[in-house]
Amino acid sequence: MQSIVIEGGKRLSGDVKISGAKNSALPILCASLLAPGEHVVSNVPELQDVITMGRLLENLGAGVQSSDGVFHIDTENLAKDEAPYELVKTMRASVLVLGPLVARLGSARVSLPGGCAIGARPINLHLAGLRDMGAEVEIEHGYVVAKAKRLKGARIYLDTPTVTGTENLMMAATLAEGRTVLENAACEPEVTDLAACLSSMGAKITGAGTDTVRIEGVSELRPMKYSVMPDRIETGTYLAAGAITGGDVRITGCEPAHSAALLTKLRECGFEIEKGPGWIRLKGCDRPRAVDIKTLPYPGFPTDMQAQFMALMCVADGLSVITETVFENRFMHIAELKRMGADIKVQGNAAVVQGAENIFGAPVMATDLRASASLVIAALAAKGSSEISRVYHLDRGYERMEEKLRGIGARIKRVG
């Protein structure tokens, strides 16, 4: 099992180029199932989750070729409608083939995604929406079995603004008969990027990026040629890395508008933020002020940045209250941060962080994707050396992280 070793205490400075967004690439790759033919998706990040998704598409009968972040996907002849447990258990986003398969083939057999470190993460709203559209949906031996001769447009209210639920149902609705309205839909930029991709395939979608999305079903779609938007969580992660070291980093190839909530909070901490078309520059301050955050659906502060921001607050001047409202168990990084000397107390879904002058290098263990990013950020500022084990979590969501961090001065290497 590989680990990452970081020698902390170095100010980071220089440019970091952002890769394509993992959480946009995954649904967009699934959208290729909606239209037979040759699809081309570019700016796809080279991540474990993307490799898994490519395998899943091949398992369904698609031809998948990729090089230098460009995917060529041939979905002319789909051979199966099944997403097997062996693949789904390693990546929950596999559930995103459900809507496209029912829409394209009239049937799907998708393993229920198992539990997840950060929460139960049910998919009841995905299934309820498909039933609203006339699909028969049963759970059989751990699999979702869905059937529909042709889905019918429906008005669907989502109890929570589920991101992949909105994406699954939006994809299903593109080929349904009639109009579908998704109410209380997720507004995340990844939803908007998927909608733009679907529209380029001939789908008729309005309202993406708002809480009400309208889709007029069409009889067929054409193959896509689409480039994935930049990753806003990767952007925030490298901003936090620059911030905690008091450095001066410029993030390039990003979309500043997608990080408004984070930039507001970083300014409140006392960091100087400049931005322009495709770039953000953060200039460090001696010691960040402690700032409270509460995670919310977009455009609120992103839950996927909660762990990384908490690492920053561990060395802030004062007391910070971090409230996680999206997932019920997204504090696993706290035990590991405390091993580095952080002073954090958990009270329900809030973590109270008393900033310390210093935190200290230690052997720590990654538990999930963003928790592992949090430990990397803390290790960059810690006094001494840290070894972060189970870095396969990191590889799921960060393309060439060591290389990008070394490029701005980090003393980081992978071992084992």
Per CB under 6 A, 125 contacts ligand EPZ: yes
Closest CB to ligand EPZ among residues 122, 318: 122
Could you say which of 30, 116, 254, 285 is catalytic?
116
Residues in contact with 245: Cβ distance below 8 Å, sequence separation at least 6, in sequence order: 9, 10, 11, 12, 284, 380, 381
Identify which of residues 52 and 174 has a Cβ nearer to ligand EPZ in the complex: 52
- Which of 14, 63, 114, 122 binds ligand EPZ (CB under 6 A)? It is 122
Q: Report, in this order, helix, strand and coil percent for the chain, each rounded to 5.
A: 35, 30, 35
Strands 385-389 and 363-365: parallel
Nearest-CA neighbor of 414 among 394, 16, 397?
394
- 19, 111, 192, 303: which one binds ligand EPZ (CB under 6 A): 303
**CA 202 remoteness from chain centre:** 26
Contact between 126 and ligand EPZ per CB under 6 A: yes
Identity of the residue, 170 or 359, whose beta carbon is nearer to ligand EPZ in the bound complex: 170
Strand stretches in 68-178, DSSP E: 70-74, 82-83, 107-111, 136-140, 143-147, 155-157
Give start and end residues of each alpha helix (H) in 147-221. 163-173, 189-200
Q: Is 123 in the site for ligand EPZ (CB under 6 A)?
A: yes
Report the alpha-carbon distance of residue 66 to residue 16 in Å, rounded.
24
Q: Cα(12)–Cα(383) distance, rounded to whole angstroms?
A: 15
Our CB check for ligand EPZ shows the closer of 95 and 364 to be: 95
- 107 with 147: CB under 8 angstroms? yes
- Is 306 a binding residue for ligand EPZ by CB under 6 A? The answer is no
Among 102-110, 121-129, 209-217, 311-319, which window interacts with ligand EPZ (CB under 6 A)? 121-129
What is the three-class DSSP state of 109? strand
Piece of 21-29, 31-39, 201-209, 272-280 that binds ligand EPZ (CB under 6 A): 21-29
By CB under 6 A, name the one of 23, 174, 237, 386 that touches ligand EPZ: 23
Cα 49 from Cα 34, distance rounded (Å): 21
The number of residues that bind ligand EPZ (CB under 6 A) is 26
The letter for the amino acid at 67 is S
Q: Is 232 in the site for ligand EPZ (CB under 6 A)?
A: no
116 is a catalytic site residue: yes
- 104 or 126, CB closer to ligand EPZ? 126
DSSP helix/strand/coil, 357: coil
Q: Does 372 bind ligand EPZ (CB under 6 A)?
A: no
One character per residue 141-180, x = contact with ligand EPZ (rule: CB under 6 A)? -------------------x-xxxx---------------
Q: Does 89 bind ligand EPZ (CB under 6 A)?
A: no
Binding site for ligand EPZ (CB under 6 A): 22-23, 26, 93, 119-126, 160, 162-165, 186, 190, 303-304, 326-327, 369-370, 397
List, by residue number, the catalytic residues. Answer: 116
